[in-house]
Amino acid sequence: MLTLDWLRVARLALTSRWMDLIEERELAPAGQIAYQFSARGHELSQVLLGLALTHPHDGVFPYYRSRPLALAVGLTPRELFAAGLGRAGGPSDGRDCGVLYSMKSRGGAAILPAPGDVGSQYSPAAGWAQAIVYHRDTLAEAAWGGALAVAHGGDGSTSANGFWAALNIAATLRLPQLFFIEDNGYAISVPSGLQTPVGNIADNLSSYRDLHVLQASGVIPPETAAAVAEAVAYVRAGRGPCLLRLTVPRLAGHSISDTQAYKSPGQRAEEAARDPLPHLREYLRQLLPVDWDALDREVEAEVRAALAEALALPEPDPAQAARFVFAETAPPATDPQPGGPRINLIEGVRRVLETELAADPRRVVFGEDVGVKGGVHGATLDLQRKFGAARVFDTSLSEEGIIGRAVGMALAGLRPAPEIQFRKYTDPATEALQTCGWLRWRTAGRFAAPMVVRVPVGLGKKSNDPFHTVTGEATFAHMIGWRLAFPSNVEDAVGLLRAALRGDDPVLFFEHRALLDTPPARRPYPGDDYVLPFGRAAIVQPGDALTVVTWGEMVYRCLEAAQAWPGQVEVIDLRTIAPWDRETVLASVRRTGKGLVVHEDTLTAGFAAEIIATLAAEAFQFLDAPLQRLGVPDCPIPYNAGLMQALVPDAGAIARKMADLLAF
């Protein structure tokens, strides 16, 4: 068995090497591929790891230099060539960068979608690792026992936020996660000494509690194999996370355009001497009588045959280019049930979370202070007591870790509903949010990470300042693949939150701070099955002379302002920003001939601009006055109440704008 295994190692390593050489020497110079990130020098360590990942629930989170690992786990040379060539039949059907791969389990590990952002693979891997524990212990699914999550990265990626977020998650929870770090000495042209002190992340983490740290050569076959086997066995045994650092040479530049002029001839000669393939050749000769040159020729022929097959694959269908941004089904709408008790918005959110946790054992709720405390606003009060700390739990103070973890959990089949305490604090998670939104599209519908991220936003009843008062919905409206809800009352909040939780897309759910526990947003509870589809605006006040489009807390300011003109001002509450109800808004403006958009976000590039651009393009011939918008000047919200009131549109300012338009 040992001989057969090493022969397979050699064949896979040679396959990767020939793919790199053909791309570097032939395809890239001919302009047939746009990106080439050579794995020359990395083959041995990755192949040995891939062959050790035999559990059907192992999850591999790779990066752009992970092709030998992808080959060993199960992607074929034809599929990998197709990725670089941008052909149909590749892992993404031509959508994604040609060096980023994914693959559903084919009996062994799944390859989860590789990110383009350096270091952003680590926290999703921690989420997958936590999902392994959840499936095994909470859901009692024995088939998940012994599985592990692997985050594969280079030494440069250990500087990234995601690496440290995942390290803390995995170590504090003792998760089955392997940090597989290949140290080739450089991040593009920057030496490892500028990435981490003394250039050795393993030495620096040697005293990290509850993290098993190993390091070895990634070049010497028996040493590399022993280290990989020890690391995988340690994690599979449930002993906690492990970090394995393997030193390897990078025999090519960072990418095809990198000439490595920053390396001296001596450095390049030293790296060439550490090429793992000659070491593998000599080791294999000690085990069995293999004709290496014949094997090399045989593998080259197989690789060229795979290339010919990939070149024969069709180009992707242009008609499908925008498909898979969102799920193609949604939860069916239901009607509200009359007679429920009148409750506030935060209680409505809590009730939905409770009923959906009870209905779906895959549902998990987490974030900072959501457990024992019940959330800083009370939305998760008593939920941990009712459902346990495995399902409702507190996290470290890392928004990147919260969202990245949620991505990994969702990929592993759980239904995460994380909370971010305030809108401004989503900023550290921007990378994880962006990558999550693209997952379905990047993989041609093969992978997705549905989740609901709850975020309190906007003005508070008592306190305001630049960091707790942001709405910033336009930023997320521009974030591809995310739905965005912004309800103004408890009935809408209940229906939209339930639609989000039961749907298959990532959703940002905004809860306005000034409406959480105030009379305007209170409504009768619409029942435990009420579902309100996204993209349906509400005409909260009819009128025939002016259309006002708004959302969130501004709905009530607009209603107050419109009282001076009974029957004339139509107020539309969008309820959702992505998607927004273009048809209702267009129909109203075509009827009234005038339009005003009011929001709490800053004015420049606020979402009003998108609405007005649509109205100008599609209702221009119906207009009787210039389209207008009203928002916060391009300035943060001040702490002082008087300064704040000077910037945020109040009913008086809105009424003056209405008067101007009605008189035009």
Enzyme catalytic residues: 468
DSSP 8-state class, residue 29: T
**C-alpha of 231 from chain center:** 27
Q: Which among 329, 328, 320 is positioned nearest to 93, based on CA atoms? A: 320
With tokens 């997958």, the residue in question is 128
Answer whether 471's CB lies under 8 Å from 508's CB: no
With tokens 């940002």, the residue in question is 508
Answer whether 68's CB lies under 8 Å from 47's CB: yes
How many residues belong to the chain? 664
With tokens 């009282």, the residue in question is 563
Query: Going by DSSP bridges, is the β-strand pair 576-578/483-485 parallel, antiparallel, or unpaired?
Result: antiparallel
Rg (CA), the chain: 28
DSSP 8-state class, residue 208: -
d(CA 490, CA 74): 49
Q: Which among 1, 2, 129 is positioned nearest to 55, based on CA atoms? A: 129
Neighbours of 306 (CB within 10 A): 21
Q: Which among 625, 593, 598, 624 is positioned nearest to 611, based on CA atoms? A: 598
d(CA 296, CA 456): 60
Q: Which among 256, 300, 326 is positioned nearest to 98, based on CA atoms? A: 256
Angle at which helices 292-311 and 77-85 cross, to 10°: 50
Two tokens, residue 426: 């989503």
d(CA 592, CA 547): 6
Two tokens, residue 126: 């921690």
Q: Which among 253, 296, 279, 271 is positioned nearest to 23, based on CA atoms? A: 253
* Those residues with Cβ within 8 angstroms of residue 240's Cβ, 6 or more apart along the chain or in another chain: 170, 171, 174, 175, 176, 210, 211, 212, 234
DSSP 8-state class, residue 323: T
Neighbours of 515 (CB within 10 A): 27
Two tokens, residue 319: 């008609």
* Those residues with Cβ within 8 angstroms of residue 504's Cβ, 6 or more apart along the chain or in another chain: 327, 329, 448, 450
Geometric angle at alpha carbon 97, from 96 and 99, rounded to 5°: 120
d(CA 664, CA 53): 71
* Those residues with Cβ within 8 angstroms of residue 261's Cβ, 6 or more apart along the chain or in another chain: none
Answer whether 214's CB lies under 8 Å from 224's CB: no
Geometric angle at alpha carbon 390, from 387 and 394, rounded to 5°: 100
d(CA 370, CA 356): 16
Neighbours of 179 (CB within 10 A): 30
